[in-house]
């Protein structure tokens, strides 16, 4: 079963019309590893076509949640803008619109840089030198992205509990799953699978917990 899953992913990559862009994604990620993740989104299928050096459990074939996005003819670069990873790390991102021969948008290449450590240095220098804060607004490109909502919720929840994902025991994981459930964190089509990957547990465990919560057991 595991081999079939790998073949399926390989087939998705091989058949993607965005494949010529994958080498660019790989090159950027290789140059800036371990600080940069690059993801290529297929707008036609609204799914992840390629992801290199991933920071989160997102993988090829997962939903991109970009349906309804519109890109102006004269705009090819979006950002930079900020996002929060599921573990609370600060991500600075930029997105490049990929177009076909007719200049129609067919994909989106997102370059995500983990700037957590650099931001800590910036804040230290700001405190010491009184450097001005940037007032630029982040671009809300992924306003419908349930991955981002889950990431922000988990980061906030673990901070409130003064803990981390890695330190959660069974009781802590159940509490987090319940908090996500109560706050609509499992509304995304593959949200249970995504949360399971974050917590390092099986999908069966997640679905079992959700069944328990729905029945009030």
Residue 38 CB-density burial (10 A; 0-12 exposed, 13-18 middle, 19+ buried):
buried
Q: How much is the average pLDDT of 60-76?
A: 88
> Model confidence at 140, in pLDDT bands (50, 70, 90)?
very low
Domain 1-143 has CATH 3.60.150.10: no
Chain segment 94-114, per-residue pLDDT in tens: 999 999 999 999 999 999 999
What would the DSSP string read from start to end of 18-81? THHHHHHHHHHHHHHTTSEEEEEEETTTTEEEEEES-SSS--TTSB---TT----TT--EEEEE
Name the DSSP class of 167. G
Q: Cα–chain-centroid distance for residue 180?
A: 17
Q: Where are the domains of the chain?
A: 1-143, 145-217
Q: How much is the average pLDDT of 74-99?
A: 90
Please indicate whether residue 138 or residue 179 has the higher confidence score (pLDDT).
179
């Amino acid at each position: 079963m595991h081999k079939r899953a790998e073949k399926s992913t390989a087939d998705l990559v091989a058949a993607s019309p965005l494949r010529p862009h994958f080498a660019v994604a790989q090159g950027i990620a290789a140059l800036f590893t371990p600080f940069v993740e690059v993801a290529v989104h297929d707008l036609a299928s609204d799914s992840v076509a390629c992801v290199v050096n991933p920071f989160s459990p997102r993988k090829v074939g997962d939903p991109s949640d970009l349906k309804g996005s519109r890109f102006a003819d004269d705009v090819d670069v979006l950002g930079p803008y900020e996002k929060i990873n599921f573990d609370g790390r600060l991500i600075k991102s930029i997105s490049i619109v990929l177009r076909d021969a007719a200049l129609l948008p067919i994909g989106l290449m997102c370059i995500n840089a983990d700037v957590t450590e650099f931001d800590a240095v910036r804040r230290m220098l700001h405190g010491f030198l009184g450097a001005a804060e940037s007032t630029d607004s982040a671009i809300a490109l992924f306003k419908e992205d349930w991955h981002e909502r889950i990431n922000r919720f988990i980061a906030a929840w673990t901070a409130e509990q003064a803990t981390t994902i890695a330190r959660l025991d069974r009781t802590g994981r159940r509490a987090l799953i319940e908090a996500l459930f109560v706050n609509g964190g499992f509304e995304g089509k593959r949200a249970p699978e995504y949360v399971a990957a974050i917590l390092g547990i099986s999908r069966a465990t997640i679905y079992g917990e959700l069944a328990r919560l729905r029945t009030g057991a």
